[in-house]
């Protein structure tokens, strides 16, 4: 009797382990059978390169030097494996010196997977025009009165002059000390004639030409109209400045 019971128990155990519905099976949906997704981390040096190239491309000035400090990279998390591409745009103000903030869109196989924020301080060193000597008010500016020197324009006014040709031939509006960085508003056009100057008034029509002495009643510049008194008739007229000694009127 006991032997039969043991045989039955053994038979049931064999059935239990061999049955496909009861035994342990490994299906295709078993989580252990799914390959884990692979990720990659973009090195910070790549984002530094993106920041530098963005500045170089948008400054478009080969003569300037750029120094980046305190660069902070936020949000650089691992992204899926695949072909990486980037797109960047500037956040906030459009100036390219001082504090700059960029957003870099990270794409994997042309699909957006992350956005990384880059922020840092940018110093730009660019040749600016400076006075080579003390300039006095009313002095006419010559090329030898100016020179170029590289300075950090990140802390300077945007009106700092970088082209000396803009002020050569102009007159200083006030005293300018040696080595001062030049701004265009410091200078004005030199008058060709000044109040009290004696000039020749000329009027022409075909072969007829009439001249008369005149006295300038106001400061004037080349090509502009100036008020003049005809010293013969004592009448006041407006005439166009030809040069420092002649003005012309319509006949």
User: What's the predicted TM-score (pTM) here?
Assistant: 0.56
CATH of the domain at 181: 3.90.1210.10
**At which of 75, 97, 124 does a domain end?**
124
Residue at 161 is within a domain: yes
Whether residue 115 sits in one domain with residue 50: yes
Residue at 88 is within a domain: yes
pLDDT tens, residue order, the chain (251 aa): 555 555 555 555 554 554 554 444 444 455 555 556 799 999 999 999 999 999 888 887 767 888 899 999 999 999 999 999 999 998 776 677 788 999 999 999 999 999 999 999 999 898 999 999 999 998 999 999 999 999 988 877 778 898 999 999 899 999 999 999 999 899 988 888 999 999 999 998 888 889 999 999 998 988 899 999 999 999 999 999 999 899 999 87
Q: What count of Cα atoms within 13 Å lies in the side-chain half-sphere of residue 233?
A: 9
CATH of the domain at 77: 3.10.129.10
Which domain covers residue 174, as residue numbers? Answer: 125-188
CATH of the domain at 235: 2.30.30.760
Residue written as tokens 């500016």? Answer: 141
Domain total of the chain: 3
Whether residue 101 sits in one domain with residue 83: yes
Whether residue 226 sits in one domain with residue 175: no
Residue at 226 is within a domain: yes
Phi then psi for residue 123, to 5 deg, are -110, 130
Whether residue 170 sits in one domain with residue 225: no
Whether residue 180 sits in one domain with residue 144: yes
First to last CA, the chain: 149
Residue at 60 is within a domain: yes
Residue at 15 is within a domain: no
Whether residue 223 sits in one domain with residue 172: no
């Amino acid at each position: 009797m006991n032997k039969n019971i043991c045989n039955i128990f053994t038979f049931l155990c064999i059935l239990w382990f061999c049955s496909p519905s009861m035994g342990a099976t490994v299906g295709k949906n078993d989580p252990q059978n799914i390959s884990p997704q692979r990720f990659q981390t973009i090195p910070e040096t790549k984002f530094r390169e993106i920041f530098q190239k963005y500045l170089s491309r948008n400054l478009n000035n080969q003569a300037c030097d750029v120094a980046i400090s305190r660069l902070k990279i936020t949000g650089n998390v691992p992204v899926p494996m695949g072909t990486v591409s980037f797109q960047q745009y500037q956040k906030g103000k459009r100036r390219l010196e001082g504090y700059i903030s960029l957003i870099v869109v990270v794409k994997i196989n042309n699909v957006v997977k992350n956005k990384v924020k880059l922020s840092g301080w940018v110093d730009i060193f660019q040749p600016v025009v400076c006075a080579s000597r003390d300039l006095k008010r009313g002095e006419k500016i010559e090329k030898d009165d100016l020179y170029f020197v590289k300075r950090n324009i990140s802390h300077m006014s945007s009106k700092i002059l970088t082209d000396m040709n803009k002020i050569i031939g102009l007159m200083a509006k006030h005293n300018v000390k040696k080595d001062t960085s030049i701004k265009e508003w410091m200078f004005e056009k030199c008058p060709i004639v000044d109040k009290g100057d004696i000039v020749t008034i000329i009027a022409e029509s075909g072969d007829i030409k009439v001249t008369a002495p005149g006295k300038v009643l106001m400061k004037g510049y080349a090509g502009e109209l100036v008020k003049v008194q005809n010293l013969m008739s004592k009448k006041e007229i407006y005439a166009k400045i030809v040069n420092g000694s002649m003005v012309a009127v319509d006949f």
